[in-house]
A and B are shown apart, each in its own frame.
Chain A
Amino acid sequence: MAIEWYVVLSSLIFAVGAMGILTRRSPIVILLCLELMLNAGNLALIAFSRMVGNQEGQVFALVVMVVAACEVVIGLGIIVAIFRRKLPLDVDELRELQG
């Protein structure tokens, strides 16, 4: 099987994640989309690791999983803090700071 299929699949997942972050409004769905983007990276790493023939990519993917878990924990923590303040859980409504 050609490497292209894996790369194309991972780039599709990456694009879905990126689109989700840009268009969805719930911070929880945005966190899910971040996971999609990181896992697209993982898929690419593992596929390339197979192609190149060494294990460095697989090790990298394992490390990324740990980091992704940390990010989600912090994200959920902040979302809970926002929820407790009874602020709207909607990134469009959170606009006290205007760019």
Chain B
Amino acid sequence: MIAAFHAPDIYYAGLSPVIALTVAICVVLLTAVFQPLRRTAPALTLIALATTAGLLIWQGGEEIDLVSGALRLDDLAIAISLIAVLSAAFAVLLSIREPAVEQAGSGEYHALLLGSVLGMALLAQAQNLVSLFVAIETLSIPLYILCATDLRRERSLEAGLKYLIIGSLGSATLLYGLAFLYGGSGSTDFAGIAAGIGQKGVTGDPLVLIGIALAAVGLAFKTSIAPFHQWTPDVYQGAPTPITGFMAVATKAAAFAVFVRFFDVALISEASEWQPALAVLAAASIVIGNVGALGQSSLKRLLGYSGIAQAGYILGGLVVASEAGVNALVFYLVAYAFMNFAAFAVVVARERETIYGDDIRAVQGLGAERPLLAWPLTISMLGLAGLPATAGFIGKLYLIEALVEGDYTWLAVFIAVGTMISLAYYLRVVAAMWMRPGGETSAAAPAIVGASPEADPIDPEAGRRMYLVAPALLAAAAVVIFGVIPQPLVEFAEHAGASLF
């Protein structure tokens, strides 16, 4: 006799974005096997990302627990997943004709990219320690490989190995922290942890405190918050540039999503314990990132250090543990995404067009030579510096407002001071573009930087190719539009913040 069997109820609509990504990984990977389909991988990836974005928008406004409470689909998860999907789409466009793609195989490269996006979508939804850990590894492991895909370049392999070691160190620390939190609260569920800690009625249980500290360190590794940032400039410089752009934006967004959900849901009752600690980390990031960027001559390293400083600003939104803080954090993540897309698209174009690689000399004279590339980079730099009429300015304004409301005025002062320091290096890039003569005229400088035998062939038309110019222009336009008319983006961020509190 067959016993009665009740299949579990599966809410397929809520899982549909994740399912779409999983199917896409298999399909894109299979194109690598069939010779005639090899060239279709980028197009298939873009279609899959568009489908996922469509499904995410369709699920907008949903608030539901999935898979026995392991995942939670809400507006915060949807907002962060959309950022991840969008940045993957940008990375696919920037990867067209990238040497790393030829090295790794187009199907494999794009399947790994989709795998990382899947991890991010899961991470943004995770509300259980197990799903948190699995999602963070699903996000990271494909990225370790993607960093090392440019097999001919020693730097790429070195970046892959460094990222793997540091990333795994972060994951192991995070895991140890999660184990202690489980021991302290008796549950792996975020709600269960909050209840378990609340039941004891005391703040300051040593198991819980050790767990919070170690978990914060692990997540700080992933979001490149000082003093756990040392890998960032090295890995950003060594990885293929489209992947650097993807990592800079999407990893940060996804890791901050889980940072927010973990600390503002599971550990909210211990807020008075972790708020000062995270505030100090944020202040340290702002100082170290901005000071470190001052002396950089490589644009990718400069953007890496600037990313550390920006992570410090964004962490400010979490420190206050309020709805206004989460709103500001999501707003800033979107603004940060567009500013970085514009910058990285230009860096990719100049890397292929000049002999200087990612050195700042590659953009000298860009204003006269390629105005369509110079404007996006200018807008991006001014936006990252937080000048008015850009989304970066509005984002900083919201962060500072949230910090002042949450009695962290001193951290708001750090943001203001950091912004002033950052002008020095952002404006250096702008000055190089508009005030220096072009690279050809100053060719007296020996062509050493990019001209090693490993250097990629130069494509003198790269700065005119639409798949590089169009993303740069679109992203820059978004930075200006959301800087002048921030209302749509504010509403987007407010939906995300409201889903937690």
Given contacts A54-B186, A71-B168, A99-B230, contact A41 B158 (CB under 8 A): no
User: Do A75 and B154 touch across chains, with their CB atoms under 8 A apart?
Assistant: no
Indicate if the CB atoms of A38 and B133 lie closer than 8 Å.
no
Q: Decide: A48 near B179, CB < 8 A? Known: A81-B148, A99-B234.
A: yes
Q: Is residue A16 within 8 Å, beta carbon to beta carbon, of the partner chain? A: no
A55-99 interface code vs B (CB 8 A; 1 in, 0 out): 011011001100100110011011101100101000100111111
User: Which residue of chain A has its CB nearest to the CB of B231?
Assistant: A99
CB-nearest residue of chain B relative to A21? B169
Nearest B residue (CB) for A75: B164
Q: How many residues of A contact B (CB 8 A)?
A: 47
Q: Which residue of A38, A56, A70, A95 contacts B187 across the interface (Cβ within 8 Å)?
A: A56
Whether A85 touches B154, Cβ cut-off 8 Å, given contacts A34-B165, A71-B168, A78-B148, is yes
With contact pairs A41-B176, A48-B179, A63-B134 given, residues A96 and B186 touching in the complex (Cβ less than 8 Å): no
Could you tell me if B141 and A97 are in contact, using CB atoms closer than 8 angstroms?
no
Taking CB as reference atom, which chain B residue is nearest A95? B158
Residues on B with C-beta less than 8 A from A14 are: 172, 176
Interface status of B233 (Cβ within 8 A of chain A) = yes
Complex CA gap A44/B168 in Å reads: 18
> Is B85 engaged at the interface, CB distance under 8 Å to the other chain?
no
Indicate whether B281 reaches chain A with its CB closer than 8 angstroms.
no
A57 and B180 alpha carbons, distance in the complex (Å) = 11
| B residues 121-164 in Cβ contact with A at 8 Å | 129-130, 133-134, 137, 141, 144-145, 148, 151, 154-155, 157-162, 164
User: Which residues in A have their C-beta under 8 angstroms from that of B134?
Assistant: 63, 67
Question: Per-position contact with A for B452-496: 1 when CB-CB < 8 Å, else 0?
Answer: 000000000000000000000000000000000000000000000
Find the B residue at minimum CB distance from A30: B165
Distance of A22 from chain B, by nearest CB (Å): 9
A74 lies within 8 A of B188 (CB): no
CB distance from A26 to the nearest CB of B (A): 12
Interface residue B238 (Cβ < 8 Å from any Cβ of A): yes
Of B169, B175, B186, B233, most buried by chain A (CB within 10 Å of CB) is B175
User: What chain A residues lie within 8 Å of B186 (beta carbons)?
Assistant: 52-54
Please give the distance in Å from A7's CB to the nearest CB on chain B. Answer: 8
Of A51, A60, A91, which one neighbours B165 at CB under 8 angstroms?
Answer: A91
Query: Judging by beta carbons under 8 Å apart, are B179 and A45 in contact?
Result: yes
Contact of B183 with A by CB under 8 A:
yes
**Which 9 residue pairs are nearest across A and B when measured between Cβ atoms?**
A48-B183, A37-B172, A41-B175, A44-B179, A97-B234, A52-B186, A56-B188, A45-B179, A41-B176
Q: A residues engaging B (CB < 8 A)?
A: 7, 10, 14, 17-18, 21, 27, 30, 34, 37-38, 40-41, 44-45, 47-49, 51-54, 56-57, 59-60, 63-64, 67, 70-71, 74-75, 77-79, 81-82, 85, 87, 91, 94-99
